[in-house]
Amino acid sequence: MTIRVLLADDQALLRGTFRLLIDSCDDMEVVGEAADGREAVQLAHDRRPDVVLMDIRMPGTDGLAATAAICEAPDLTGTRVLILTMFETEEYVAQALRVGASGFLGKYVTTDALLDGIRTVAAGEALLSPGATQALITRFLTTPASGPPLAPAERLADLTPREREVTALAAHGKSNDEIAGELVLSVLTVRTHIQRAMTKLGARDRAQLVVIAYQNGLVRPEPPSS
């Protein structure tokens, strides 16, 4: 299946570079380009992409506001947002996760890392820049945030013991391969448990599943190392 990608960046040169790169892959194609957040939201509704590659700082409606609008839209539940920005700060990562982004990468990433990132997000998995996953998620979740939890705590009772175990390991930043190795399961089995947990908890993707696990005490943030 071809991954449909929408580009949202106010720099035309970057959009052109990304288009050439993405269209050179047999398994993905660019279906539209937006120069600001408002246009990104409109094109997302019109083109129904699988992934929106979203810059944060754009004129008018910025990337975070556009991400929130896309992730909240009932008709765009199949669309994932991958944030790609020069401003890879904890504050931006926290905001991006809160509004529903499935991934966050700095623009310094390699070509292969970017393409793999698009594939990862399109598959419904969370993606944060290397080395930052645990620290950023932990700091985000220990910072008071407005609004109710993404899922009520009682819904955790719907998870089987194995689903709880797999979800907890995912919340600690472990990949499917790492979880499979630790629990002596196949990667396919791990993916199945993750998908079932997401369905039961109403998580749109792996990032939201991790947030729910922390918000409802399934796992506890580790104290920062001194």
The rounded distance, in Å, linking the Cα atoms of 12 and 16 is: 6
pLDDT tens, N- to C-terminus, the chain (226 residues): 899 999 999 999 999 999 999 999 999 999 999 999 999 999 999 999 999 999 998 988 999 999 999 999 999 999 999 998 776 566 777 778 778 888 888 777 889 889 988 998 898 776 765 444 555 565 655 565 555 666 777 788 999 999 999 999 988 777 788 899 999 999 899 989 998 999 999 887 777 787 788 788 887 765 544 4
The rounded distance, in Å, linking the Cα atoms of 34 and 125 is: 24
153-215 shares the fold of 3-140: no
CATH 3.30.1120.80 for domain 3-140, yes or no, is: no
Domain-by-domain residue ranges, the chain? 3-140, 153-215
- The SS3 of residue 101 is coil
Domain 153-215, CATH number (from 3.40.30.10, 1.10.10.10, 3.40.50.300, 1.10.1040.10): 1.10.10.10
Specify the amino acid at residue 61. Answer: T
The rounded distance, in Å, linking the Cα atoms of 40 and 99 is: 15
End-to-end CA distance of the chain: 47
DSSP strand pairing (51-54 vs 103-106): unpaired
